Structure 1
Amino acid sequence: MAPTGRRTGLPEHPSAPTDAVWRAAVPHLARRRLFTVAAAAATLAFGTGLPARGAMAAPQLDAARITEDPFTLGVASGDPLPDSVVLWTRLAPTPYEPDGGLGQQRIAVQWEVALDEWFAVVVRDGVALAYPEYGHSVHVDVKGLDPGTPYYYRFRTGAWISPVGRTHTAPDTGTPVASLRLAAVACQAYHDGYYTAYRHLANEDVDLVFHLGDYLYEYAVNSAGGERRYADGTLPDVFNRETMTLADYRMRYALYKTDADLQAAHATHPFVVTWDDHETENNYAGPFDENGSPPEQFLLRRAAAYRAYWENQPLRSAQLPQGPDARLYRRLHWGTLAQFDLLDTRQYRSDQAYGDRPHVPGPESDDPARTLTGAEQERWLIDGWHDSGALWTVMPQQVLFSQRNFDVTNPPKVSMDAWDGYRASRNRVVAGAKAAGLANWLVLTGDVHVSYALDIKDDFDDPASRNLGTELACTSITSGKDGAARLPNWESHLRANPHMKFYDGRRGYLRVRLDRARAEADFRTIPAVSTPGAPVTTAASFVTEVGNPGLTPA
């Protein structure tokens, strides 16, 4: 979530395209124009310092010559399948340097997967190469594992051994799993406070963590670390500027990933990640940034941001970007209990209507050609619902799906950056859910820096209309600073949105237990992020029953 009113709605740069063809992502001519620009941007990117896919010409470094711990950014795992899971680390003995202190040489890294944390029973091992072209990151897609099984993993290079991580595989797709425990997190501006919520999350008994976007923020971080208020001003000036280049994004991830609490959460639980806007630039929409730069120029930046994102997350090679494009939306399963349809609502969206300011819905925002997901992703989503045999249909995504009226006026203003600004797109998705007969639809949302519990209505303007599903919006890890249980608009928001059952403005995360009878959601909050070590409490708990959409207090 970001300040409103900054985007003009049309490019300000005199050389930027201003014709309507740039303003929709669905019509054929618009797609052709966009793909042409994307291809041009990719060509430019690879000619101006971004590595081409498969560029592996670097000489190999003797790992025995690494004299400082290269595992300063920790370890992580992600995207568990019944027979495999992705393991991640990135070598950076001096993480605040563009090359991590390793120059332009590739490095051999051993990896091990075991049934126990002492590695007495190693079941898989091998050697991966950390290439400078990919920021010395390591992504190992370990195959041949047993379904529904916990594992431990670690990396080694030279004399150095990484911290031990714990992960597990998913159950077999056809297995009638009894229950699942998941957590959802989002929005972790480093400069807005400490990652205390992650320390508590590391101690939770959950099977999966969904990161719903804004893992990184592009804004400058001063030497005091913003709200962290480092007394000695230890952070170098390299962070005190907005991220623009591949080196900038790599170093900013290094800053975030040196945090011990974030490392603890990653080492304890497998993560399933998707991005929102700040991993690249505030409130961007497809090829448009918020400042009206020429799309050709912005797509260069997007290519750098997408590459750095992949380098720093436990993602498979299928998510490796090609220039400014990456296929991040994907589908995972947890036996027959749950299907997860992970969305990307940034890369393919039409530009925000009405200058991206809060506005009453109108012809510009309600144009049927407008899309939040792009036509291909929309088809993939709805087709996957028709083919699903899962009890729960879970849709982890970024921006608020349900209607959210900002005031009690008639008609009320809504966000042009959320699904409210793309009502035709939302209507198509809702129609697809109804046609597929989704009985237990759960939407997980980030972005808003507050906790919401909402009923997804057949008609949001009619409180008596039937419930189609449930939306749970997790608050931020830090973004928005300390927050408060009741923000100034607390009462008006609840009055303007009868389908909103809960609203809390503190930091924290969401914890959900799914079983074959119901879903139980706990909104976990901490009182402050401006000082470390705050306790965690459950602000509220809700239940939605199988076959009976709608939230009730637990």
Structure 2
Amino acid sequence: MTIAPSGRSQRHSPELRAAARHIGRRRFLGLTTAAAALAFAVDLPATGTAAAAPLDAARIRDFPFTLGVASGEPLPGSVVLWTRLAPAPYEPDGGLPAERVDVDWEVAEDETFATVVARGTAVAHPEFHHTVHVEAEGLASGRVHYYRFRAGDWLSETGRTRTAPAADSPVSSLTVAAVSCQAYHDGYFTAYRHLAEDDVDLVLHLGDYLYEYAVDSAGGARGYTDRALPTLFDHETVTLEDYRLRYALFKTDPDLQAAHARHPFVVTFDDHETENNYAGSIPENAVPPEQFLLRRAAAYRAYWENQPLRPPQLPVGPDMQLYRRLQWGQLAQFDVLDTRQYRSDQAYAGAQHVPGPDSEAPDRTMTGAAQESWLLDGWHASQALWNVVAQQVCFSGRKLDLNPVAKVSMDAWDGYPASRRRVLDGVKAAGIENLMVLTGDLHRGYAFDIKDDFDDPFSRTLGTEIVATSVTSGKDGEERPSNWTTYMAANPHLRFYDGRRGYTTVTLDRAQARADFKTLPYVTTPGAPITTAASFVTEVGNQGLTPA
């Protein structure tokens, strides 16, 4: 979603978009220089690197775990543990030489580490900016665990995580938190401080973890008066160094660190982790396609480095296998989508527009054919009570005015109706009875009934969609935005609409799902309290939201 500063250049011409549409990964390798190709094909730990002499951790003179710890991707008996060594996080090299560092890790059943159940040594490679990704295995399934890292005499804070239950486990309940859209320059991450204190099993980050826009010395709307950020943040991210530094800025935030240290995360990106409103290999602005794919390669590389992701998600050049499936016993299947990397270009230059031939073309796709087939096949095979889709942009129909033919967003699924129709038909063909779509992007909280026909309020309800508001993007917000009355009247399947910041929790059990919209009155100053603005339930076998 666009929140660009004023003066931002507009999306480029249809002719340039058409030219870019034909640039794929093979063409990328043909168009880039040898140096650029080397930057993303060879800049990896080489065979035999592990035998090379490491940096003596005793030479690390300052605390290296400045970006905290994190965990994610919970499987039965396994979870990913993450950290990065950065004694000087706002410097391009993080304050370390280009040498590998051995980092010890351990997992325990208790916070005091009296009962350690797994330990080992990982390598923080300079090629990966001294990040560490540990696939801790052999753990008890469906259990809370505690973890920490050590480099020399330096000990990280203790993180708390959770493994998924066994696939055949008859889990009674699960609570997830949905978060999205955390523009550093738009305010404080107070929502994360509250989330760190909330009792949830899993956090789903639905996109825009990072924003590419410049952050001035005052931190934008944060208005720092007791500190000044380095000028190296005061430009848009383009290079690998830019993206790495921007993650360092975000991850030094203590509230974000607290949430990561308390809960495992499952993440997916939207547009701002790379560039606003890009579509596949097509950039927002008028730059050569090969130049944009270099930028995308840098963005994807930094994203993997800075998230608790497994090795299959490691990008190759500008390509990243991010869509994936996780299971929570017999209770829930999570299908995590990527609606950026494979989509058709936005119709009508991405502007709000009435549906038309360009947007309604039957070959248009939001997910790409391979991901779409993977999703539908996964539903046919699913044995879970709840099928949860974690994705980025609004899935439900959302008319933006009260005209007989209303404008809709060309960046959301409304701009790809044929793609949405195939997905909805897939829901029916697979006999999915309890569908929950969790969405980010819109900077406001929404609750939708997913209709078989969004133009017919009496058509069958196939599931529900919960749109989590932003953590900060859009600044303070308001309970009822100026378009509240219009949206509620134009969309009879819309049950809730709120413009404040925060996050949403969804509790799934064997009888119902309950969504609680948690909101903050402000984010441009720290310390805001949190309240539950509204709660809704949808029953197993009887889809449709009602107030709790």
Q: Same-fold call, TM > 0.5? A: yes
Tell me if 1:141 matches 2:131.
no
Q: Which residue of 2 aligns with 1:105?
A: 99
Matched residue count: 540
Change (3 A) 1:519 1:536: same
Unmatched tracts of structure 1, length 5 or more: 24-29
SS in 1 for 2:103: strand
Change (3 A) 1:173 1:325: same
Please point out which of 455, 469, 475 is paired with 1:475.
469
Q: Which residue of 1 aligns with 2:443?
A: 449
SS in 1 for 2:457: coil
SS in 1 for 2:105: strand
Displacement of 1:105 in angstroms is 0.8
SS in 2 for 1:85: strand
Q: Which residue of 1 aligns with 2:404?
A: 410
Give the Cα separation in 2 of the matches to 1:409 and 1:294: 38
Aligned 8 A contact 2:513 2:537 in 1: yes
Q: Which residue of 1 aligns with 2:353?
A: 359
Give the Cα separation in 2 of the matches to 1:46 and 1:157: 33
Give the Cα separation in 1 of the matches to 2:510 and 2:398: 30
Give the Cα separation in 1 of the matches to 2:53 and 2:493: 60
Aligned 8 A contact 2:41 2:316 in 1: no
What code does the residue aligned with 1:334 have? W
SS in 1 for 2:404: coil
Change (3 A) 1:362 1:167: same
Give the Cα separation in 2 of the matches to 1:40 and 1:515: 52
Give the Cα separation in 1 of the matches to 2:176 and 2:15: 41
Aligned 8 A contact 2:32 2:290 in 1: no
Tell me if 1:164 matches 2:168.
no
Give the Cα separation in 1 of the matches to 2:234 and 2:458: 51
Change (3 A) 1:131 1:41: farther
Give the Cα separation in 1 of the matches to 2:320 and 2:97: 27
SS in 1 for 2:58: helix
RMSD of Structure 2 on Structure 1 (CA):
1.5
What code does the residue aligned with 1:37 have? R
Displacement of 1:421 in angstroms is 0.4
Q: Which residue of 2 aligns with 1:285?
A: 279
Please point out which of 303, 314, 318 is paired with 1:324.
318
Residues 524-549 of structure 1: per-residue CA shift (max 9 Å, x gap): 00000011000000000000000001
What code does the residue aligned with 2:303 have? Y
Displacement of 1:237 in angstroms is 0.1
Q: Which residue of 2 aligns with 1:26?
A: none
Q: Which residue of 2 aligns with 1:62?
A: 56
Q: Which residue of 2 aligns with 1:461?
A: 455
Give the Cα separation in 1 of the matches to 2:65 and 2:25: 39
Give the Cα separation in 2 of the matches to 1:387 and 1:48: 41
Mapping of 1:81-92 within 5 angstroms? 81-92=75-86
Residues 364-402 of structure 1: per-residue CA shift (max 9 Å, x gap): 111111111000000000000000000000000000000
Give the Cα separation in 2 of the matches to 1:112 and 1:469: 41
SS in 2 for 1:80: strand
Aligned 8 A contact 2:3 2:474 in 1: no
| TM-score after normalising by structure 2 | 0.96
Displacement of 1:233 in angstroms is 4.5
Change (3 A) 1:466 1:257: same
Displacement of 1:3 in angstroms is 5.1
Please point out which of 184, 197, 201 is paired with 1:203.
197
Give the Cα separation in 1 of the matches to 2:35 and 2:183: 27
Residues 223-247 of structure 1: per-residue CA shift (max 9 Å, x gap): 0000110114410000000001101
Aligned 8 A contact 1:37 1:295 in 2: no
Aligned 8 A contact 1:453 1:502 in 2: yes
SS in 2 for 1:505: strand
What code does the residue aligned with 2:452 have? D
Give the Cα separation in 1 of the matches to 2:481 and 2:168: 45
Give the Cα separation in 1 of the matches to 2:288 and 2:227: 37
Tell me if 1:34 matches 2:24.
yes
What code does the residue aligned with 1:539 have? A
Mapping of 1:144-293 within 5 angstroms? 144-293=138-287
Q: Which residue of 1 aligns with 2:544?
A: 550
Give the Cα separation in 1 of the matches to 2:234 and 2:293: 23
Give the Cα separation in 2 of the matches to 1:41 and 1:477: 39
Displacement of 1:45 in angstroms is 6.5
The sequence identity of aligned pairs, in percent, is: 66
Change (3 A) 1:439 1:55: same
SS in 1 for 2:14: coil
Change (3 A) 1:103 1:51: farther
Displacement of 1:116 in angstroms is 0.6
Q: Which residue of 1 aligns with 2:419?
A: 425
What code does the residue aligned with 2:258 have? A
